[in-house]
Chain A
Amino acid sequence: MTTDLPLVNRYLTAFDAALIQLAPAERAEVVAEIRQHIADATAAGKPIDDVLRSLGPVEALARAYQLELLVSPRPNAPARPRSDRWLKVIGLLAIGSLPTFIIVVTLGAIGLSFSLSGVAVVIAGIADSVGALPWWMTSNVQPWVAIVLGVALTILGLLASWATVAYLRFVVRVVRRVVPPRPAAAS
């Protein structure tokens, strides 16, 4: 039987794989019908190469089916299931959790430590300028340099803290948009 040719089987296997978007029962019938077409055409005396060329590349043939069966609106098409939204949540977690962790830890640490140490340096600078610093804490840094440095550190720290809070707010907004509302609140 001509349909047992490896060439035909290869074509049909590839075609079946390309029909991944169709329902399994539909897919099986479609592949069976194309198998039948090949058998009919070769039985009518057409060379197998011509028959397959006329059917065209499997991707194009599968796309033609999907355009007719999936793109044109079906009556009674089922509504998008809620599980779709949960998939989005999982996707969001997969993509967003590592960057969020890194950004929050880094920016948060910079914000906290810079602002605290900035304030401490300013106090130390002032104390040094009036000579109130014990000898083991003094250095050859001028007091005004310490004050300027401390103010700069504090500003950087506050900026980083502000950025951390802004980023967290953004994350909350995104998560709220994606997470399905509770059934009671959804109505």
Chain B
Amino acid sequence: MGTLETGDWSSQLKRGVLELCILQLLREESSYGYEIVTTLDALGPLAAGENTVYPLLRRLKADGMLETFLRESPSGPPRQYYRLTPDGRKRLTALGKEWQAMASAVDQCLHKGDAK
């Protein structure tokens, strides 16, 4: 793989950020797997394969950040929904702060020398 290829770099970057985004998506209302996958898909660079999102959802559940419940669906059997736990909410706040600090630092870094 050439050094100009950004695929590996961005997939590593995405791995960490994806957790923050899934927690944020579930902040206001609960959701289910397919809806979360399609919402992320619509966000372009954040699009992650099902084989990334679904396992991550299960890990967040195992870590106590999310919990699941069943809700009737208009068609077919009841769906498994995810919602934030109190721990998940705390983690979302913490990760959000961390991301803001990191993003503004990276931004400053990228623009150093621009304005001079």
Contact = CB atoms under 8 A, between A and B. Distances in A.
Contacts of B54: 30, 33-34, 37, 64-65
Contact of B80 (A1, A29, A41, A69): A29
Given A36-B33, A61-B51, A64-B52, A72 B59 contact: yes
A175 interface: no
Given A29-B68, A74-B62, A37 B51 contact: no
B107 to A, nearest CB: 30
A59 to B, nearest CB: 11
Contacts of A60: 51
Given A54-B50, A64-B52, A39 B76 contact: yes
Given A36-B33, A37-B34, A39-B76, A30 B49 contact: no
Interface residues of A, number: 28
Interface residues of B, number: 22
A69 B68 contact: no
Given A36-B34, A37-B34, A68 B50 contact: no
Contacts, number: 61
Interface in A48-84: 54-56, 60-61, 64-65, 67-69, 72, 74-75
B58 A40 contact: no
B56 interface: yes
Contacts of B55: 64-65, 67-69
13 contacts: A34-B54, A36-B33, A36-B77, A37-B33, A37-B34, A37-B37, A40-B32, A54-B49, A64-B51, A64-B54, A65-B54, A69-B62, A72-B59
Interface of B: 32-34, 37-38, 49-52, 54-56, 58-59, 62-63, 68, 75-77, 79-80
